[in-house]
Amino acid sequence: MNEKKRFYNRVRRTCKLHDLELVYDGVPKNYRAVEIHKDGVCLFADRSENWKPLDINWQRLHEEMVQYGYKGGIK
């Protein structure tokens, strides 16, 4: 299994478990940012620094979520 896909699934499942919302900025395959919101507040984000499409670092997002106590959602 691809490493990027593994961490994407972990982030997605953890968001679902803790009622967090994944918000993408941009069109599919050309995202400029991804943010994780809770009650309208941005908790975690990965944003593009230039005008190029963002290569989302799902592993970093997952590790930040674990540091802040958002654990679980791993099969």
* DSSP helix/strand/coil, 75: coil
HSE of 12, CA atoms in CB hemisphere, 13 A = 8
CA distance 19 to 75: 17
pLDDT tens string for the chain (75 positions)? 599 999 999 999 999 999 999 999 999 889 999 999 999 999 999 999 888 888 999 999 999 999 999 988 776
**Number of neighbouring beta carbons within 10 Å of residue 70:** 20
The whole-number pLDDT of residue 1 equals: 57
pLDDT at residue 12, rounded to an integer: 95
pLDDT at 74: 72
CB atoms within 10 A of CB 3: 9
Task: Measure the CA–CA gap between 50 and 20, rounded to whole angstroms.
Answer: 27
Tell me the whole-structure pTM to 2 decimals.
Answer: 0.87
